[in-house]
Amino acid sequence: MEQFKNYINGEWVAPKTGKYFQNINPANTEDIIGKFPESGREDVNDAVAAAKEAYKMWKRMPAPKRGDIIRIAGDLFAAKKEEIARIMTREMGKPVFETKGDIQEAIDTAYYSATETRRLFGHTAPSEMENKMNMSFRLPVGVCGVITAFNFPLAVPSWKILPALAAGNTVVYKPSKDAPQAGVVFAQIMEEAGLPKGVFNVVLGKGSMGNMMVEHPDMNLIAFTGSTEVGFKIGEVCGRTNKKCSLEMGGKNAQIVMPDANFDLAIEGVLWGAFGTTGQRCTATSRLIVHKDCYEEIISILAKKASALRIGPGLDDSTQMGPVVHAQSLANCEKYVKIGLEEGARLVIGGQKATGGILDKGYFFQPTIFADVTKDMRLFKEEIFGPILSISKAESLEHAIELANSVDFGLSSSLYTRNVNQAFQAIRDIEAGITYINAPTIGAEAHMPFGGVKGTGNGHREGGWTVFDIFTEWKTVYIDFSDKLQRAQIDNY
């Protein structure tokens, strides 16, 4: 069995704890991918110390030179796309066509971040004084801790790591314990791209190791993607220790379908949004809100389509939906089916572990649809992170928007309609960081801001130009060449 190592200060090193955990293929629990470090405080300390030392050099490297390295990393991700996709599918389950898309996001983000190193613009402004100039520019923050979830093992970390590096920060990265090999691959790519030692470090481990990173006194910033519960705890520590903190947390995203919509398109959208990545996306379509005039028709067509989805190992090219990531996730899906039945929701299809043949070896769950879900039900309000869709009936567009907003999250949203007035009304009134018109709740593009409101985030946006607001600080400069003391607000009026 292959035994993996941490990547610290440009070296592949064994954990000082001497402990390891097994990484298991969720599609076949007999397939052990390898042993991965269960790192401890000493390993975290070494990684942070390396990043802190490397920061002195890296922040002074001209930004476009940093961009050259990041661009090479994008080239390497592209050249190894097929190979990396199969590694990712084996360890976290989603089909290869999806993991290829995951890598494409990393490629796009690499090229975008590389280009932005020539566009880290500041601002100049006229002074209120004579013979004086005012300007501002961006500076890096320092050592950044990055902690991410399993579902997008390269895309999501790339949204944080590559802009952080482009801005002149150094990084200590903790991948999910459920997708640790993707973190190893990330380090291998950055090493091959020519990143100097210590600039990027990967420390593998379980949840407690993330706490050590968050609490470390030399960590200047934490960028986190994961559950709202964990994100709130991270936010508390960062508030107490005055660290910058970017939180991308849960979602309970709704797709609205109006009677004038293209029904075929709307059903395609919810199938992809609800069951793509086996529902294990923060942007997954976990709620479908349908106007009363087309409610039963949409349910009937959708049930047939969802029942026909091909479930199986992601490495099989015919698979449309893979397993959930582990036994706890499977048990969680079973728990919410029980909750839904107890609450009085109508089970339309699914509701059980998918079995038979090769499916018996993995954590497979049937595509599941509940109808007649009301806003007081837990199915309506709580993030499940599995292939379970809740359908609710709306009396009007206004009622649909009210239902969409009746949760504690606000990440993504969607409306299917041919009515441009209704589209703009939804764009204005839905409480979410992202709204799609005639498209599912998933499908973010790397050059656009990504993030949400309410329980989904703490105000930051990854992706696009806005991500650099996370990973930079503003420096304001006043240059007075009057050769005399000029007192602002006093001597000018």
Closest Cα partner for 223 from 273, 178, 167? 167
61 to each of 138, 166, 170, how far by Cα in Å?
A: 14, 10, 12
Amino acid symbol at 82: E
- Count CA atoms closer than 13 A to 86's CA, side-chain side: 6
Annotated active-site residue 333? The verdict is no
For the sheet with 346-349, list strands across it: 346-349, 368-371, 388-394, 285-291, 253-257, 413-416, 436-437
Beta strands in 51-179 (DSSP E): 123-126, 132-140, 143-147, 170-174
Closest Cα partner for 444 from 284, 228, 246? 284
Q: Which of 238, 245, 282, 333 is catalytic?
A: 282
Contact 149, 483 (CB under 8 A): no
- H/E segment holding residue 233: helix 228-241
Annotated active-site residue 248? The verdict is yes
Backbone angles phi, psi at 472, to 5 degrees: -135, 160
Task: State the DSSP string of 209-228.
Answer: HHHHHHH-TT--EEEEES-H
Q: Measured between alpha carbons, how far is 323 from 364 in angstroms, rounded to an integer?
A: 4
Q: Measured between alpha carbons, how far is 423 from 435 in angstroms, rounded to an integer?
A: 10
Q: How many CB atoms lie within 10 A of CB 30?
A: 8
Backbone angles phi, psi at 40, to 5 degrees: -130, -165
Q: Which of 116, 248, 383, 462 is catalytic?
A: 248
Q: Which two structure tokens, joined as six digits, stand for 166?
A: 């482009």
Contact 434, 283 (CB under 8 A): yes
Contact 172, 250 (CB under 8 A): no
The residues pairing with 457 across neighbouring beta strands, listed in sequence order, are 248
Q: Measured between alpha carbons, how far is 370 from 350 in angstroms, rounded to an integer?
A: 9
Pairing of strands 346-349, 123-126: unpaired
The secondary structure of residue 196, as a DSSP letter, is P
Contact 183, 204 (CB under 8 A): yes
The secondary structure of residue 277, as a DSSP letter, is G
Closest Cα partner for 238 from 259, 264, 225, 220? 220
The secondary structure of residue 457, as a DSSP letter, is B
Closest Cα partner for 221 from 207, 200, 242? 242
Write out the catalytic residue numbers. Answer: 248, 282
